[in-house]
Structure 1
Amino acid sequence: MQRNVRLGLCLLMLLADMAALAAGFAAGLRIAGVPLFSGDIWQPLAGGMAAYGIVAFHNQAYNPECLTRLTCSLRSALMAFAGTLLIFLLVVFSLKATGDLSRLGISTGILCSGTLLVLQRLLIVHSVRRNFSDNLFAQLLIIDDGVIPDDVNSMILVDAAAIGIKADLDDPYMLHRLGTLLHGYDRVVISCPADRKADWAQMLKGANILGEIIVPELDPMAPLAVENCRGVPTLVVARGPLNLANRAKKRLLDIAITVPLLIALSPLMIVIAIAIRLDSPGPVFFKQERIGRGNRLFHILKFRSMRVEQCDAAGAASTRRDDDRITRVGAFIRKTSIDELPQLINVLLGEMSLVGPRPHALGSTAEEQLFWQVDRQYWHRHALKPGITGLAQIRGFRGATETRRDILNRVEADLEYLHGWSLMRDIAILIGTFNVLVHRNAY
């Protein structure tokens, strides 16, 4: 039944794709003033739609995973759309048929079709998730003296001992019984003691099914993949979140924005520096050790907002509202976030990025616990360069960390940013930062 449902949904997605392409080009032709029922137009467009169906099928655009995974669905559909456009344009130019087609109509049709294609894919994935959730795939959980997960919703549970199935590689009839049991399922998960895991793994390898074995002892390591080192299997537990190309794009964005900003804001920074010197004796900048990328220490720069004799180099005491350590100028520049401007120099030096997890002082605490004692995942956030602003900041998680939840909110937001990085998200966070430059927690 579940396979039939998936097949029906995949056919629906195919029809929705074709409808989106037809409606998009119809809208484009209408905007260009071309008659909708002109055979000279729809004949090549019908060929293009057929080509899209073939390319999309080859590109796994109708794989059942596209029903529930939005990124997979959009990527495969848009790649097929781009490939079809390339084929369409090559054929049109090779046949020298460009004069017979409305360029405005074709251009507008391409834009409308691409938009409708994305919108209907969004709608289908959202509807399937809401109405089917995990019930779209048949899943079997075999318990062989192992732990039972807390959430077994939509899974069929089988007690291996009760039905007489065990991991026996020397008994062909046992493997036959297992194969018969697994027939019709899309995924099987085995829960068993450590000494049986290898045998169950061997049995599943020939079962023609997605097979998994519960390994609770690996949970503290949270492995990403399995690799091999000189013939010995290894667990991959960490890898850099950004590849070389993405690191280059992020750095180029930093440079492109930081250099003009430093030039434009230099008069303001000079005025602030003079005001700080006139307000209280001491240096203009406050330097403090912070944790940077790769958990390496660096010195962050800020405009000094506290009296020199009361500055907290370790950051052990969070700044409080109406803190008597803060100078008059310091209160203003902290409230308006102007005290953060010297960090543009850190960005220019490559120690920070415009967007990233905010770097914390070594002595920062929440409920008398150091940040990394509150949550060990705290160290994960340093896989990226620290930022002047970040996802946590635009969500309002800033100011004093009085409770454990204060730092947990920051860590959760930082890890979400780390695992879902994109250049457009950086730009969106920079835009969102303008809304929180002046914030009730900035003091």
Structure 2
Amino acid sequence: MSPVLISYFSPWACETGAIALAPMSRKPAAQAPAAMPRRDAAIKRAMDIGFALLILAVLALPMLLAAAAIRLTSRGPAMFSQERIGLHGQRFRMLKFRTMRRQACAGACRQATRHDPRVTRLGALLRHTSFDEVPQLFNVLDGTMSLVGPRPHAPGTCVAGRRFESITPRYATRHRVKPGVTGLAQVRGWRGETDTEDKFLRRLDSDLEYIATWSPWRDLAIIGRTVGAVLRMRNAY
């Protein structure tokens, strides 16, 4: 895959020692700034609102049909919310179409696995196409999420018996930006269950690289690659 060149020059990236003129495969900078500059934040927020409204308008009818199908095929609400860790470590409720049996959704948060018995037949289709994530566009509109950013984790999520935050102090850096509906790690194929520390660290490297080298063009590139990944339906379950 040829690298995607970024021509937007961001002072935010310069503060980390990483300039935005970089291919998407470059290694992450050692550190990320504490906060995104106002200009960059305003650009990113405008992009979030514009794209979220456009996608919701296009998918309004399919969303209504999906909600009706969920209600008809399993007991419980069409959508549900789960607590996630967002910007600056603040917790928020992330929206999703319900893909699991109601009892499973009510229990303790656990990563979904391939062929997870908690997932309904319709839920498996929604997850395979990533359509279950579409309600997060409402999170984007209310400002708790961004269209592109590190995927939000549930509090206390573990891998190999260790909480994410205990594996490396670098983990806290990913909370310096809003979590995203999609991200650099996801378009690189890091989707599905994080069941080893190596997978966790590789995803984290992509998250920190995204933060250190952010630009609006990188967001556009990730959105475009996300569309391709959804159409190929790889590693989604």
* Same fold at TM > 0.5: yes
1:285 equivalent to 2:89? Answer no
**Residue 377 of structure 1: how far off its partner (Å):** 1.0
**Residue 363 of structure 1: how far off its partner (Å):** 3.0
* Cα separation, 1, equivalents of 2:177 and 2:19: 23
List gaps (5 residues or longer) in structure 2.
Answer: 1-16, 23-29
Q: Which residue of 1 aligns with 2:188?
A: 395
* Cα separation, 1, equivalents of 2:78 and 2:171: 31
1:296 equivalent to 2:80? Answer no
**Residue 71 of structure 1: how far off its partner (Å):** 5.4
Q: Does structure 2 retain, via aligned residues, the 8 Å contact 1:302–1:340?
A: yes
With over 3 angstroms needed to count, the CA separation of the structure-2 counterparts of 1:414 and 1:440, relative to structure 1, is same
* Cα separation, 1, equivalents of 2:172 and 2:208: 10
* Cα separation, 1, equivalents of 2:188 and 2:84: 22
List gaps (5 residues or longer) in structure 1.
Answer: 1-68, 75-121, 123-221, 225-236
Deviation string 1:329-383 (CA, Å, 9 cap, x unpaired) is: 1000000000000000000101100000000111321111111112221111010
Structure with bigger helix share is 1
Q: Which residue of 1 aligns with 2:53?
A: 259
Q: What are the equivalent positions in structure 2 for 1:11-410 lying under 5 Å apart?
A: 239-240=34-35, 242-311=36-105, 313-315=107-109, 317-410=110-203
**Pairs aligned (count):** 213
Q: Which residue of 2 aligns with 1:15?
A: none
* Cα separation, 2, equivalents of 1:441 and 1:70: 30
* Cα separation, 2, equivalents of 1:327 and 1:381: 32
Q: Does structure 2 retain, via aligned residues, the 8 Å contact 1:366–1:403?
A: yes
State the percentage of identical aligned residues.
Answer: 46
* Cα separation, 1, equivalents of 2:150 and 2:19: 24
When the two structures are superposed, what TM-score results if normalisation uses the length of structure 2? Answer: 0.84
With over 3 angstroms needed to count, the CA separation of the structure-2 counterparts of 1:368 and 1:303, relative to structure 1, is same
Q: Which has the higher contact order (CA 8 A, sep 6+)?
A: 2
1:429 equivalent to 2:222? Answer yes
* Cα separation, 2, equivalents of 1:70 and 1:274: 47
When the two structures are superposed, what TM-score results if normalisation uses the length of structure 1? Answer: 0.46
Deviation string 1:8-47 (CA, Å, 9 cap, x unpaired) is: xxxxxxxxxxxxxxxxxxxxxxxxxxxxxxxxxxxxxxxx
1:239 is matched by which residue type in structure 2? A
1:353 is matched by which residue type in structure 2? S
With over 3 angstroms needed to count, the CA separation of the structure-2 counterparts of 1:290 and 1:314, relative to structure 1, is farther
- For residue 311 of structure 1, give the secondary structure of its aligned residue in structure 2: helix
Q: Does structure 2 retain, via aligned residues, the 8 Å contact 1:288–1:313?
A: no
Q: Does structure 2 retain, via aligned residues, the 8 Å contact 1:292–1:385?
A: yes
* Cα separation, 2, equivalents of 1:314 and 1:417: 30
Deviation string 1:41-96 (CA, Å, 9 cap, x unpaired) is: xxxxxxxxxxxxxxxxxxxxxxxxxxxx9959x8xxxxxxxxxxxxxxxxxxxxxx
**Residue 313 of structure 1: how far off its partner (Å):** 4.9
Structure with max Cα Rg? 1
Q: Over the residues paired in the alignment, what is the CA RMSD in angstroms? A: 2.2
**Residue 310 of structure 1: how far off its partner (Å):** 1.4
